[in-house]
Every structure is written in structure tokens, then in C-alpha cells.
């Protein structure tokens, strides 16, 4: 007796439906993965941008709050510099030798803080000879701060510049490679590292043309047996820096007015400063168009219309050393 066994399977229609359902599920999973990846990249980009901004602000606040610090030297008039002090690359205006070592500006005023408001190639180069054409992002501020370190240095490092002071007299000198420094300050004295710095927004991060604006600074460093102003870049993506200075017009220790471009004669009345920075993500997001309007201090309103995320940050810092001198009438 013959028995025929019939095997049943999927029909062609059922198979096509199953394939379609599988394709839909796979498409959904791929879209979910891409959305999650995009969200991750977006969050990472914004987090990195905020971290760069936080670091930039913290560094600026620390330096500005200590502007004019001369250790225990009673008055800035008591500071001079040793005539044998060697300066390699200076960074001041033309006709102002040893600018990096001077607390006096071109107007003859005591000025541990100087600035260039909304700089151009011309104004940046005129104020700071070590800033080459095209280095500084146009329309951003340049900030100069001169001070010493917050603590005395028990073991000065060769090639670095220090303020040796006994509280009454003070001289800047460079620690030599060997032997004792030729500095004559009566005992007892201490040595404090001298830290002039110039903050500016550079047009690039690593090489000219890479398109990543970066907060950089010129600092005094030992180079080839002499001290020179050298470049130290801090935070990538910083697109704008603006500073307003709080002027104390009645010597009560509080700012009466904030000015973006104070006169040279007003610098001695500065007691605080407002810092504004605009930070941009390093990488573009083609799914995002930034058409916001950013206005920082007296800079021109800026509407980027590009694919970068941005955040504006600001803070206010007291400048206690200048406030104290101002209240003492010095």
C-alpha cells in the first residue's frame, strides 16, 4: 500500500511578507542606532565644548584676579630690573624695549593690565610685536596681565625670571645657568617667579588654515639662555574673547562703570573685570544649522549660519591688588 507524504511550507506570499517585516525591523534598528550615535556625538561635542570653556574661564579668572601682584613689595614704584637681564623675544609695541619687564605703559601709567579692544591685524601688531599678521582673529580682544606667582620659589629654575624682594625694594632677574644672580637686594628677601601673559584668540589650532579658533597666550619662558615670550595654546574652539573693566571712580573699592576700552589713565582705577567668551564645537553637524545671534560686550552681533554648536559664557572677577592700590591712592 502506497502512502504519499506531503510536506507543507511557506507560500511565496508568506515569504515575501516575512521578508518585508524583517526589512522593516532592520530599518528601524539601523535608524535607532544612527539616532543614538548622533545623540552621543552631539552630547560629546557639547560636553567637550563646555569643558574647554570652563578651563578657559578658570585660567583667565586666576590670572586676572592676581593682576598686579608683586609679592610683598609695598609699592610698584619699588620694582626695577637687573641691567644684565637678557630678553630674547619681547612682545611690546615698537620703541618700547623690555616691555615684558615693565609695569609702566606707553602713557607712563602703572599698568599691570592692558588690552586691545576688538583687535585688527594692525592694532594687534602695533601693541604686540610677537603677534604675526593673521594670527589674531579679527574683532576679538587681546588681554595682557603682569604679576608674580602666588607663592615664593625656594629653588629658582635656571633661565626663568624672578622678582627678588624684601618688601621695600625689588628687582627682576634671570636665574643663571651657573653661579649666583647679580642682584643686590638686602636681606631678608624671597624670590617670586615673574609671569607676564598675553591672551588672544588665534585663527587656528595647530597649523594656519585648519579653521579651529583657539584661545592662546604668550608666556615668558627660558629659550636658549634667554627669556622669551613663547606661544602656549589653551582651549580649542574659543571663537571670541571680550573683556570689560570695572572702573572705581570714587575709590570706595566698587566698580562704578564697566568699560570695554578704558583710557590708559583709567587702568589704575580698575577693580574688577567681566570676561565673555564664545566657544564653538570642533566638528560640524550637517543636520544642524546655527542661525542664532550672539552679542558679546561691544563686539558686533554675530550670526554664524553654519553647522557648529556654540555657547556663550561670562563671569565677573575682582582684581584685589589694583583695588587695594586704588584705595590707598597709589
Contacts of 286 (CB under 8 A, 6+ apart): 307
C-alpha cell at position 321: 591688588
Predicted local confidence at residue 231, as pLDDT: 94
Band the pLDDT of 175: cuts 50, 70, 90.
confident
Cα distances (angstroms) measured from residue 185 to each of 72, 126, 189, 192:
14, 35, 7, 13
| Set of cell numbers at residue 299 | 563686539
Q: Residue 105: its pLDDT value, please? A: 78
* Helix %, strand %, coil % of the chain (to 5): 25, 30, 45
Q: What is the mean pLDDT of the chain?
A: 86
Task: Judge if pTM exceeds 0.95.
Answer: no
- Summarize pLDDT for 39-67 with one digit per residue, the tens: 666 667 777 888 988 999 999 999 999 99
Residue 137: all three cell numbers together = 582673529
**What does the domain layout of the chain look like in residue ranges?**
44-328
Q: Give me the sheet containing 170-174, strands edge to edge.
A: 79-81, 170-174, 161-165, 190-193
- Residue 199 CB-density burial (10 A; 0-12 exposed, 13-18 middle, 19+ buried): buried
State whether residue 28 is helix, strand or coil: helix
Which positions ≥6 away from 313 have C-beta within 8 Å? 53, 57, 276, 277, 278, 279
Bridge partners, 235 (sequence order):
215
Q: What is the pLDDT of residue 253?
A: 82
Residue 307 is predicted with a pLDDT of: 92
Amino acid at each position: 500500500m502506497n502512502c504519499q507524504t506531503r510536506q507543507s511550507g511557506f507560500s511565496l506570499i508568506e515569504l515575501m511578507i516575512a521578508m518585508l517585516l524583517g526589512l522593516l525591523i532592520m530599518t528601524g534598528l539601523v535608524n535607532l542606532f544612527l539616532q543614538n550615535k548622533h545623540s552621543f556625538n552631539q552630547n560629546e561635542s557639547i560636553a567637550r565644548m563646555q569643558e574647554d570653556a570652563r578651563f578657559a574661564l578658570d585660567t583667565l579668572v586666576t590670572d586676572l584676579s592676581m593682576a598686579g601682584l608683586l609679592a610683598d613689595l609695598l609699592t610698584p614704584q619699588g620694582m626695577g630690573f637687573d641691567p644684565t637681564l637678557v630678553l630674547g623675544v619681547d612682545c611690546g609695541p615698537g620703541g618700547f624695549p623690555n616691555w615684558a619687564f615693565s609695569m609702566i605703559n606707553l602713557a607712563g601709567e602703572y599698568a599691570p593690565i592692558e588690552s586691545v579692544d576688538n583687535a585688527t591685524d594692525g592694532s594687534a601688531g602695533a601693541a604686540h610685536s610677537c603677534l604675526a599678521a593673521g594670527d589674531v582673529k579679527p574683532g576679538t580682544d587681546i588681554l595682557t596681565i603682569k604679576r608674580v606667582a602666588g607663592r615664593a620659589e625656594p629653588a629658582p629654575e635656571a633661565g626663568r625670571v624672578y622678582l627678588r624682594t624684601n618688601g621695600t625694594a625689588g628687582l627682576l632677574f634671570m636665574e643663571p645657568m651657573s653661579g649666583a644672580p647679580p642682584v643686590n637686594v638686602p636681606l631678608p628677601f624671597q624670590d617670586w617667579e615673574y609671569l607676564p601673559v598675553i591672551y588672544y584668540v588665534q585663527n587656528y589650532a595647530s597649523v594656519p588654515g585648519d579653521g579651529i579658533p583657539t584661545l592662546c597666550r604668550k608666556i615668558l619662558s627660558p629659550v636658549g639662555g634667554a627669556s622669551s615670550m613663547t606661544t602656549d595654546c589653551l582651549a580649542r574652539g574659543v571663537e571670541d574673547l571680550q573683556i570689560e573693566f570695572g572702573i572705581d571712580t570714587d575709590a570706595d573699592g566698587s566698580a562704578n562703570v564697566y568699560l570695554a576700552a578704558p583710557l590708559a589713565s583709567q587702568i589704575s582705577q580698575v577693580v574688577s573685570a567681566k570676561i565673555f567668551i564664545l566657544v564653538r564645537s570642533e566638528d560640524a553637524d550637517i543636520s544642524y544649522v546655527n542661525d542664532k545671534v550672539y552679542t558679546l560686550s561691544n563686539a558686533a552681533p554675530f550670526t554664524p549660519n553654519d553647522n557648529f554648536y556654540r555657547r556663550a559664557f561670562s563671569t565677573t572677577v575682582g582684581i584685589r591688588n589694583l583695588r587695594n592700590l586704588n584705595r590707598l591712592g597709589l
